Copies of this chain bind each other. A is one copy, B any other.
Amino acid sequence: MAGFPREEHAAAPRLDRAEIVRAALDLLDRDGFDAFSMRRLAVELEVKSPSLYWHVRSKDELFDLLIDTVIGKCPLPAADEGDSWQRRLSSLGMDLRQVLLSHPAATRLLPGRLPFGPNGLRLADRVIGLLRRSGFDDRMASYGYLVLVFYVIGFAVQEIAFGKGAANGARLAEVGRYLGGLPADRYPDLVAVADELLAPRLTDRFEFGLQSLIDGLVKTESA
């Protein structure tokens, strides 16, 4: 009341690249991929949409920033702890999947892009370094990194399509009903295992594949 114009709106909450990214991620998480637009984002930030373009070159660039931000939330593998490289790689895979699943709408932006923002590069560097320091040569280190990350990302993206990730149980149930109602004469084997297929065991499946890939790397060690 004393008329201090200080805190009122002195340090005007000016827009900011980081602030935009934060709000965009919130909006995606809350309202989903289809509801996202630059204009809506502007409303969220109490700003008119063209202002965004001062801080961000384009929607596409913003999307790049978003996925790198999400990837940045994935804990990096410990540089050199007691654990074997197998275990560290396995943990990384599960962590990365978990991070992606916690931002399903943002993860949907990933296909078509490469996870090569600053955070993505740092992750790549760490994984490759881990493998090299565990005795793999350059070729196998790059194989390991690429196959592993491609697998994790690819799996997570499709899990999300399945309805996993958000409060998206509705989607999952819908898929279940769809698969359950298929004609058994046309898809006999599929229908026979339908229960297994849509069981909420995607995590098991993911880890099974992840372990197989790591075992594949192990095998090249002895060769």
Contact = CB atoms under 8 A, between A and B. Distances in A.
Interface of A: 33, 108, 110-114, 116, 121-122, 124-126, 128-129, 132, 138-139, 141-143, 145-147, 150-151, 153-155, 157-158, 160-162, 175, 178-179, 182, 186-190, 192-193, 195-197, 202, 204-206, 208-209, 211-213, 215-217, 219
Nearest to A139: B196
A139 B201 CA distance: 10
A161 B124 contact: no
Contact of A178 (B116, B187, B192, B213): B116
A138 B196 contact: yes
B142 A193 contact: yes
Contact of A154 (B129, B141, B154, B189): B154
Interface centre among A155, A160, A161 (most CB of B within 10 A): A161
Contacts of A209: 147, 150-151, 213, 216
28 contacts: A33-B112, A108-B111, A108-B112, A111-B157, A111-B158, A112-B160, A113-B161, A116-B179, A122-B186, A125-B188, A129-B189, A132-B192, A138-B195, A141-B193, A141-B196, A143-B205, A143-B208, A146-B205, A151-B151, A151-B154, A151-B209, A153-B158, A209-B213, A209-B216, A212-B216, A212-B219, A213-B213, A215-B219
